[in-house]
Amino acid sequence: MTLVDLYAAHAATGIRPGTLRVWLHRGKITHHGHDRAGRALINLDELPTPAPVKAA
């Protein structure tokens, strides 16, 4: 389990933090508490992996 905040998850997957917040609210992904700064923590392993970028 790799717990990260929404912004680190965005950097790793490309999924916008606002989308991740909606998924948290709807129960699509699990909320795992907060870090010391009060940011929501999610499991990076629950998120879909980014699609590989095709070269032109």
Q: How many domains does the chain have?
A: 1
pLDDT of residue 51: 66
Does the structure show a pLDDT above 70 at 21? yes
Whether residue 54 lies inside any domain: the answer is no
Whether residue 31 lies inside any domain: the answer is yes
User: Residue 3 — pLDDT band, cuts 50, 70, 90?
Assistant: very high
Whether residue 52 lies inside any domain: the answer is no
What amino acid occupies position 36? R
Residues whose CB is less than 8 angstroms from the CB of residue 31 and which lie 6 or more positions away in sequence, other chains included: 24, 40, 41, 42
Whether residue 16 lies inside any domain: the answer is yes
Does the structure show a pLDDT above 80 at 42? yes
pLDDT of residue 35: 92
Whether residue 34 lies inside any domain: the answer is yes
Overall average pLDDT of the 7-12 stretch: 93
Structural domain boundaries enclosing 14: 3-46
Overall average pLDDT of the 3-21 stretch: 94
d(C-alpha 52, C-alpha 33), whole Å? 31
Whether residue 11 lies inside any domain: the answer is yes
